[in-house]
Chain A
Amino acid sequence: MWMHHPGPGAATSAVRQKAEIKMTQIARTMKYQREADPEWSARIRQLPGCERVSSCIQCGTCSGTCPLSIYMDYTPRRVISLIREGFKDDVLASKTIWLCASCYSCTVECPQQIHITDVMYSMKREAIQEKKYPSRFPIPVLAREFYAIVRSRGRNSEIPVVLRMALKSNPFILLTMMKSGWDLFRTGRISLKFEKIRKIRQLQKALDATKEVA
């Protein structure tokens, strides 16, 4: 009889199993001070919108309110912590910063008034400048293609932007768009006319001049 009873032995082994799983998680996320770059962290914390990163109390309100945190590799709370310590490579290569849809929930809810959405934007820009973003990940590819087309025409046109994004990241994305593309076309919501502003030279001149200011 006693042999069929899931006695203390079985319970112990279940706990032990859980402990083993936990250990692999801990081993994977353990960080070491020598991997950190405090100077990078100090520079980031002076950028517009990032000033209050140091005041984070790690309460996790940002992660709780974020509609996308369950899909992220690091939650927003962890990103803030990584930035504060200077774990640059982990942050810049993360998918988290790109999954942020800029909905400003975290910014509005943060009890320390940290402009988390602005922090995410700063990280996106760093990742692009340093070419650290995950390769062929559609979101940064879309941002760059969007940037290029608006610079050359002054307005966005969905079709060329979407095509280039798909070709440079994952062409199979186009399959997910066939049904919706047709629906949008038959209701007159996709324009085949590619918009362009009259004074595109003026716009480009102004854009270039902003880059000459340090």
Chain B
Amino acid sequence: MSANGFLYFPGCSLRATGAAYEESLLELFRVLAIPLTELDDWNCCGATSYMAVDEGSAFLLSSRNLSIAAEMGGHEIMAPCAACYLVLRKTLDYVEHYPEIRAKVEAGLRAAELKAFTGVKVRHPLEILYNEVGVKALKQKTTRKWKGGKIACYYGCQAVRPYDEVDRPHNPMRMDELMNAAGAPTIDYALKTKCCGGSLTGTIHEVGVNLNEILLREAVRKGAGCIVTICPLCQFNLDTYQGEMRARGVAIDIPVLYFTQVLAWALGGDIGKIGLKRSISGRAAIEKWFSSEEAPAYA
């Protein structure tokens, strides 16, 4: 990590359905005094759709963002959204390993007079907090005592697979460690990397909702009072459709939060600036658990 911090790539979700992720992330990094500079005029990462339509275009979208990072003199992009993170990370990998993909990307960058992006790295906030700040330092900086329920840490898919830099693909534990450092107990959640189905809730609705019902019911069965995620799509799916499940007789109403919301709050961040009002499910619990009173958890 350089003194200038990181170039921040929000991605489309953090400006819409995942607004609470951006708000809490910015507040957390402000509290930690790690500077973030937004990537100038960034474009959409293409998510899973671009790869399904045209490979060259899919890698070009990320290449433009990487190129802007090189132009801005930053060598580390932080991408909080799992889809954005993976597309950027995969672009670095595939452009290096496949000459046919490299040829397409280079032609695109040349035509638009964009710079080559050698040396640019892609990072995720979970791994930055774990590696650069560290569990010990976070524990020391904690100023509020967690009063909420046990947490099921849900890692989802694309942040931990197929690359293992954010956390290991099998039984990732870094988010659990960060939550414990902030004073919040976590459960042993066996489905922590089982996919939420991504955009399936919007396309083949019943299938998408089924996947999420399985995840939610298992978390509750294991005694979790709350689910914490690192991806805007996971949070969206788990949070949005609980009402629909209740209408079918499934007794479920638990908060689904971003790990940055819990950390920003625990580290004494401004309670009005971490997007707590944007949650749909588990409202009563959120209002009970989160208050602005300071109580040193570790004297």
Contacts and interface: CB of A to CB of B under 8 A. Distances in A.
Nearest to A183: B280
Contacts of A138: 202-204
A140 interface: yes
Contacts of A205: 111-112
Interface string A185-214: 001111100010111001101111111110
Interface in B209-262: 211, 240-241, 243-244
Contacts of B244: 179-180
Interface stretch (B53-61, B135-143, B266-274, B287-295): B53-61
Interface in B158-190: 158, 161-162, 169
Contact of A188 (B61, B207, B278): B278
A54 interface: no
A108 B161 contact: yes
A158 B12 CA distance: 9
Contacts of A208: 111
B72 interface: no
A84 to B, nearest CB: 21
Interface string A138-151: 11101110110011
B31 interface: no
Q: State which size class the interface on A falls in.
A: 35 or more
Interface stretch (A35-43, A73-81, A99-107): A99-107
A59 interface: no
B197 A206 contact: no
Contact of B157 (A103, A143, A199, A213): A103
A209 B60 CA distance: 10
Which of B48, B63, B98 has the most CB atoms of chain A within a 10 A radius of its CB?
Answer: B48
Contact of B42 (A156, A183, A197, A211): A197
A190 B202 CA distance: 14
Contacts of A101: 48, 157, 195, 197-200
12 contacts: A101-B157, A143-B48, A150-B43, A173-B205, A183-B280, A190-B17, A197-B43, A206-B108, A206-B112, A207-B60, A210-B59, A210-B104
Contacts, number: 196
Q: Shortest 4 CB-CB distances between A and B: which pairs?
A: A209-B111, A103-B195, A210-B56, A103-B157
Contact of A195 (B12, B63, B98, B105): B12
A150 B43 CA distance: 8
Given A105-B195, A156-B12, A180 B57 contact: no
A164 interface: no
Interface string A58-87: 000000000110010000000000000000
B128 interface: no
A199 B20 CA distance: 27
B53 A188 contact: no
Contact of B52 (A104, A124, A177): A124
B195 A48 contact: no
A56 interface: no
Interface in A126-155: 128, 138-140, 142-144, 146-147, 150-151, 154-155
B56 A199 contact: no
A94 interface: no
**Chain A at the B interface: mostly helix, strand, loop or mixed?**
helix
Nearest to B100: A48
Contact of A187 (B52, B64, B107, B277): B277
Interface string B108-142: 11111110000000000000000000000000000
Interface of A: 48, 67-68, 71, 99, 101-105, 107-108, 115, 117, 121, 124-125, 128, 138-140, 142-144, 146-147, 150-151, 154-158, 162, 165, 173, 176-177, 179-180, 183-184, 187-191, 195, 197-199, 202-203, 205-213
Given A139-B203, A142-B202, A165-B203, A210 B49 contact: no
A112 B100 CA distance: 24
Contacts of A190: 16-17
Contacts of B55: 48, 121, 125
A206 B169 contact: no
A206 B114 contact: yes
A117 B162 contact: yes
Given A191-B15, A198-B41, A206-B112, A104 B56 contact: no
B68 to A, nearest CB: 9
Given A71-B207, A176-B205, A210-B108, A147 B50 contact: yes
Contact of A104 (B94, B110, B161): B161
Contact of A209 (B46, B54, B107, B193): B107
A206 B60 contact: yes
Given A155-B43, A198-B41, A210-B105, A102 B49 contact: no
